[in-house]
Structure 1
Amino acid sequence: MGGTVKKIIGSIIKDNPILMMGLGLCPSLAVSTTVNNALGMSAATFMVLLGSNIVISALRKQIPDDIHIPAYIVIIATFVTLVDMLMQAYLPQLSKSLGIFIPLIVVNCIILGRAESFASKNSVSRSIMDALVMGLGFAIGLTAIALVREVLGAGRITLGGSGSTIKIPGLSSAPALVFVFPPGALIVLGFLQALFRRLGEDRPEKNSEVKK
């Protein structure tokens, strides 16, 4: 059990779609201005990823090879439409804040990439696990970027659909506004990518023999 958890954690770090593979950066940098936006985008992406992985894996032997990409896009678009409608109905403020980036999940290379490289070649159970790991990795990466940007750029942390905020002493009165804008997003992304690459490095075993 411990080995499985360690393997999953290792996969989340080494195969992190944002901070290690550099996938889905356009929507990630655009919506990561607040933690609330990041959590909402992460949840929406995860639901689409999970649903599309299950359906594509279940139908992998029925979908002809010559039309598999259009078929995958139709399946993904169906789940995106459902998620978008649910968010508009139950989380209208968050839906308005995320705007066009919810429908753009259809062309998110993370979801289409997992459909092509994993779900279409593996069982439903393995595809569910893949969606869980990749979805959690995406959420960690996106939330980390948003947390740093909001704390440094606005001096606060926005939580929940009600818009409640936690003010950071010392930063709320004099925030570094550059982190609210695209250049700040790229700076934060670069530092977090460096950190994750450092954490994901394979550390060589120490040689117990004393060299003469």
Structure 2
Amino acid sequence: MAEQKYRNLIVDGLWHNNQALVALLGLCPLLAVSNTAINGLGLGLATTAVLVASNTTVSLIRNFVRPEVRLPVFVLVIASFVTATELSMNAYFHELHKILGIFIPLIVTNCIIIGRAEAFASKNNLSHSLVDGISIGIGFTLVLVTLGGMRELVGQGTLFDQAHLMFGEAAQGFTIKIDNFPGMLIAILPPGAFIGLGLLIMVKNLIDQRLAARAIQKAEYPEGSEEIAR
């Protein structure tokens, strides 16, 4: 039973309840910084770190916080971890920190984080809250990286450009470049972010519909009765 609970939390965070593609939360940073895959990865990892830390902390203090002041306390906890994350990024990933700019401190206002703290961490134990934070954060990061990679590839014909900002000078050779690719400027402009996100949501919905149809078909024609059904 416990293993199934953890499995459901992981699958929900990565797919069924993906906060970017299903709940449509955190769209401001998602659309604003996803012009390259590395930018998306940097913000995604920062958001995941804050989400995991805040989820676990809220779960630990949930029985000591009065309901009347729970939201201000949750915001204070989140703001503390955002400050620590911002200072760490400024120290160790300074150039990437300058590129992401205001969107790092704005993690405080990310509805995903306060939403998981209120809806899940404040009602569940430490281990469940930890797994929820990790899965939700990775799901959000995957969307950021995928959308950023799409826009970067279509917009300027590169993938993982400026990877050294996150992985050091050894990552200079990580960049994939299409020679003589003219690029489509709209992909790296704000309209490209909306179009790309819409395409990702469409693909997810199509996959969900296909899986649902297959599940219905399997229920109607269980294994061993396929020949009769034919």
Normalised to the residue count of structure 1, the TM-score between the two structures is 0.91
For the residues of structure 1 that align with 2:91 and 2:17, how far apart are their CA atoms?
34
Correspondence for 1:119: 121
Correspondence for 2:178: 169
SS where residue 153 of structure 2 aligns? helix
For the residues of structure 1 that align with 2:86 and 2:94, how far apart are their CA atoms?
10
Cα deviation code 1:52-110 (max 9, x no counterpart): 01110000011110011110000000000000000011110010000000000001000
Number of aligned residue pairs:
211
Which has the greater radius of gyration?
2
Q: Percent identity of the aligned residues?
A: 37
- RMSD between superposed Cα atoms in Å: 2.2
Question: Residue 12 of structure 2 contacts residue 18 of structure 2 at CA under 8 Å; is this kept in 1?
Answer: no
* Unaligned runs of at least 5 residues, structure 2: none
SS where residue 175 of structure 2 aligns? strand
Amino acid in the other structure paired with 2:177: I
Cα deviation code 1:153-178 (max 9, x no counterpart): 011011231583624325x5310111
Q: Pick closer, same or farther for the CA change 1:4–1:169 going to 2, 3 Å.
A: farther
1:124-143 equivalent positions in 2, closer than 5 A: 124-143=126-145
For the residues of structure 1 that align with 2:20 and 2:29, how far apart are their CA atoms?
11
2:207 pairs with 1:195: no
> For 2:217, which of 190, 198, 205 is the aligned residue?
205
1:74-113 equivalent positions in 2, closer than 5 A: 74-113=76-115
For the residues of structure 2 that align with 1:100 and 1:39, how far apart are their CA atoms?
16
* Unaligned runs of at least 5 residues, structure 1: none
User: 1:211 deviation in Å?
Assistant: 6.5
User: 1:132 deviation in Å?
Assistant: 1.1
SS where residue 182 of structure 2 aligns? coil
User: 1:6 deviation in Å?
Assistant: 6.5
SS where residue 217 of structure 2 aligns? coil
Higher helix proportion: 2
Amino acid in the other structure paired with 1:175: G
SS where residue 38 of structure 1 aligns? helix
Q: Pick closer, same or farther for the CA change 1:41–1:11 going to 2, 3 Å.
A: closer
